[in-house]
Amino acid sequence: MMSLRIGITGGIGSGKSIVSRLLKQMGVPVYDSDYEAKCITLTDDSVREGLTKLLGEEVYRGGVLNKPFLASYLFASSENSKRVEQIIHPAVKRHFQRWCEIHSSSPIVAMESAILIESGFTDCVDVVLLVTAPLEMRLARAVARDNVDEAKIRERMALQLSDEEKQKHAHHVIVNDGKTPLIRQVLELFTFLSENNSYLCRTKNNL
């Protein structure tokens, strides 16, 4: 039986990482695309070549990724972000495929990605899970977590799809508003996916 692949997404401060941790506790391997993308940016030769061609030698100053320089370019505009993503995302997809092969004995695996839909990573998964929360709650969480002002968080949010747009692509929605029981929602989803693994799983064997 093939692993059922879940794509976990949600806006900044929605709590998708909490949902990922709960699934991990249930035995589901979770691929953190944000973390892995950072590692790939540091180590993948094709990514290094692409970023250097786009941004010049400064992006790997002294042979080391210049993170502040890359971040300032990324967050300057959505077009800049797309240019960088076109370099990094194909490498992440290849890495995720290899990761899935390593975890092929698991009935369910997951990818956590804030930009799962925007990046086209929906092609890599069978089921899209959207984690939502009220905007003001998301802002408060992100400001506290990242120790930056609200204006900066709003700028980053503007580069992502709204929850309304993401819901058009989601198969399941989990509400993380501090009122609706979160663990129960995750347990119910896990049970449903486990019981319907064969039905939901894709029939093709590659991405």
For 141-157, b/e burial (b = at least 16 CB within 10 A) is bbbeeeeeeeeebeebb
**Residue the block writes with tokens 């990724």:** 65
Taking the domains of the chain in order of start, what are their residue ranges? 1-29+107-200, 33-102
The pLDDT of residue 78: 79
Q: Which residues contact 198 (CB under 8 A, 6 or more apart)?
A: 1
Model pLDDT, residue 132: 96
pLDDT at residue number 199: 63
- At 198 the pLDDT is 67
On whether the pTM is more than 0.85, the answer is yes
Q: What's residue 205's pLDDT?
A: 40
What is the pLDDT, as a whole number, of residue 165?
93
Bridge pairing between strands 4-9 and 108-112: parallel
pLDDT tens for the 207 residues of the chain, in order: 579 999 999 999 999 999 999 999 999 999 999 999 999 998 899 999 999 999 999 999 888 899 899 989 987 887 898 899 999 999 999 999 999 999 999 999 999 999 899 888 999 999 999 999 999 999 999 999 988 889 989 988 887 889 999 999 999 999 999 999 999 999 999 999 988 776 666 543 433
- Other Cβ atoms within 10 Å of 97 Cβ, number: 12
What CATH code is assigned to 1-29+107-200?
3.40.50.300
pLDDT value at residue 2 = 77
